[in-house]
Structure 1
Amino acid sequence: MPALDTYDYAVIRVVPRVERGEFINAGILLSRQQPAFLQARIHLDEARVLALDPSADIEMIRRHLDAIPAICAGAIGSGPIGQLPLRARFHWLTATRSSIIQTSPVHSGQCTQPDVAIEHLLTRMVLPPAN
Structure 2
Amino acid sequence: MNPYQYAVLRCVPRVEREEFLNVGVVVYCQRADFLDVAWDVSRERLASFAPSLDVDTVCAGLEFVAGVCRGDAALGGVAADDLGTRFGFLKAPRSTVLQPGPVHGGLTADPAATLADLLARLVRLPHGMQE
Task: Tell whether the structures are fold-level matches, with TM greater than 0.5.
Answer: yes
Q: TM-score, normalised by structure 2?
A: 0.93
User: How far off its partner does 1:21 sit?
Assistant: 1.3
Tell me which of 86, 99, 111 is aligned to 2:108: 111
**2:121 is aligned with 1:124:** yes
CA RMSD of aligned residues (A): 1.0
Tell me which of 28, 33, 38 is aligned to 2:35: 38
Report percent identity of matched pairs. Answer: 34
- Say whether the 8 Å CA contact 1:22–1:52 is kept in structure 2: no
Runs of 4+ in 1 over 6 A off after TM superposition: none
Which has the larger helix fraction?
A: 2
User: Which residue of 1 is the match for residue 12 of structure 2?
Assistant: 15
Structure 2 runs not aligned, ≥5 long: none
Alignment-mate amino acid for residue 31 of structure 1: Y
Deviation per residue, 1:1-58 (Å, 9 max, x gap)? xxx1000001011111122111110001000111211000011112222222111111
Q: TM-score, normalised by structure 1?
A: 0.93
Structure 1 runs not aligned, ≥5 long: none
User: CA–CA distance in 2 between the matches of 1:30 and 1:113?
Assistant: 11
Count of aligned pairs: 128
